[in-house]
């Protein structure tokens, strides 16, 4: 793949819902908040509705897959560290760097396979949240106390959260350039399952951020479908609607992707 002509064989479209099982806190800006406002607001769209940034979802999936694949964290990215292959031979065998991408200065890297869109509240969830007796229109306020270990002084704080039970529409696009990419799609579903058994956002050790993926649909758009306009016609996941089911029946799913050359 590296150093060769790059040919797009097709795109895998993964859509479904993300359901919050516990309160979700993904931080936003405090700019413009009134005095006495919450200490830790959640990120919201222009309509004031909370959403899940694609960068947060993709970054957490990458982090968990790096750990699962025992990758060395070699490169600083803000306050975090990520794995980045330093040699072309390593890159060719690395599912993490191929799926999630390399920094632009790495000349041997190919195109990033996975695109993760922002996930927005479903209309049904937005309506339900507005009707709930919560502290704010779409969110709740969790009051907590941080205790100074030396003085025992209490430091009360307020954290804004998306309540449990909220649902967001998600969409991921997985680009396929060669047959190896079809095999690596398994790792995307693996990262999704790892996330279900971890947490999204902040304060996971205190119970926040448990989510699950549900009602998943996986479409295969071979490149010829973009010429005919017959898109999202080939569903390849059958009755498998969760990451666990997609992993268990991956060979069947992969077999429905055809042999485009």
Which one has a higher pLDDT value, 58 or 203? 58
The structure's pTM equals: 0.89
Distance in angstroms (rounded) separating the CA atoms of residues 149 and 232: 56
Task: List, in sequence order, every residue forming a beta bridge with 120; answer none if it has no partner.
Answer: 51, 169
Given a cut of 60, whether residue 254 has pLDDT beyond it is: yes
205 vs 49, 64, 93, 202, 208, CA distance in Å? 25, 15, 33, 9, 7
Rounded Cα gap, residues 107 and 105, in angstroms: 6
The residue-averaged pLDDT of 102-117 equals 86
End-to-end CA distance of the chain: 14
What is the per-residue pLDDT for 85?
92
Q: What is the pLDDT of residue 10?
A: 96
The predicted pLDDT at position 29 comes to: 53
Residue 28: the pLDDT is 60
User: What's the rounded Cα separation, in Å, for the pair 139 and 163?
Assistant: 6
pLDDT of 260: 57
User: Taking Cα atoms as reference points, which of 218, 204, 188 lies closest to residue 16?
Assistant: 218
Model confidence at 261, pLDDT cuts 50, 70, 90, reads: very low
Query: Please, what sign has the CA dihedral across residues 203, 38, 78, 56?
Result: positive
Sort 255 into a burial class: Cβ within 10 Å, 0-12 / 13-18 / 19+.
exposed
Q: Give the C-alpha separation, 214 to 209, whole Å.
A: 16
- Residues 79-99: tens digit of each pLDDT: 788 999 989 999 999 999 999
Radius of gyration of the chain (CA): 21
* pLDDT score of 145: 66
Distance separating alpha carbons of residues 12 and 216, to the nearest angstrom: 13
Between CA 137 and CA 116 the distance in angstroms is 27
pLDDT category at 32 given cuts 50, 70, 90 is very low
Binned at pLDDT 50, 70 and 90, residue 144 comes out as: confident
Q: Taking the C-alpha atoms of 35, 39, 40 and 41 in order, what is their torsion angle to the nearest 10 degrees?
A: -20
pLDDT at 149: 66
Handedness of CA 84, 89, 93, 99 (dihedral sign): positive
| Least confident segment among 52-66, 68-82, 119-133, 219-233 | 68-82
Distance CA 215, CA 95 (A): 26
Q: Tokens standing for 221?
A: 């758009």
Q: Which two tokens stand for residue 66?
A: 């790096």
Mean pLDDT of 122-142: 92
pLDDT at 200: 97
Phi and psi torsions of 233, nearest 5°:
-100, -20
Give the Cα-Cα-Cα angle 74, 4, 82 (nearest 5 degrees): 15
Is the model's pLDDT at 36 over the cut of 50? no
Lowest mean pLDDT among 49-58, 59-68, 226-235: 226-235
Instruction: Report the candidate in 254, 111, 110, 243 with the shortest Cα–Cα distance to residue 183.
Output: 254
Q: Per-residue pLDDT tens for 183-242?
A: 999 999 999 999 999 999 988 899 999 999 999 999 999 999 999 998 888 899 999 999
Average pLDDT of the chain is 89
């Amino acid at each position: 793949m590296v150093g060769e002509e790059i040919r797009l064989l097709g795109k895998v479209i993964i859509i479904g819902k993300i359901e919050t099982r516990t309160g979700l806190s993904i931080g936003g800006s405090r700019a413009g908040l009134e005095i006495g406002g919450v200490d830790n607001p959640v990120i919201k769209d222009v309509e004031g509705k909370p959403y899940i940034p694609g960068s947060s979802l993709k970054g957490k999936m990458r982090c968990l897959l790096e750990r699962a694949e025992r990758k060395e964290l070699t490169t600083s990215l803000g306050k975090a560290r990520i794995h980045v292959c330093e040699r072309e031979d390593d890159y060719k065998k690395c599912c993490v760097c191929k799926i999630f991408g390399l920094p632009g200065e790495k000349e041997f890297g190919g195109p990033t396979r996975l695109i993760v869109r922002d996930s927005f509240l479903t209309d049904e969830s937005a309506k339900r949240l507005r009707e709930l007796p919560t502290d704010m229109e779409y969110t709740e306020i969790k009051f907590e106390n941080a205790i100074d270990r030396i003085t025992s002084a209490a430091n009360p704080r307020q954290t804004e959260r998306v309540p449990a039970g909220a649902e967001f529409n998600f969409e991921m696009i997985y680009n396929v350039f060669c047959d190896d990419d079809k095999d690596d799609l398994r790792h995307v579903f693996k990262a999704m399952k790892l996330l279900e058994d971890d947490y999204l956002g902040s304060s996971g050790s205190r119970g926040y951020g448990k989510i699950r993926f549900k009602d998943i649909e996986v479409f295969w758009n071979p490149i010829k479908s973009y010429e005919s306009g017959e898109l999202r016609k080939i569903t390849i996941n059958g009755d498998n609607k969760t990451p666990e089911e997609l992993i268990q029946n991956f060979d069947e799913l992969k077999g429905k992707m055809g042999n485009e050359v």
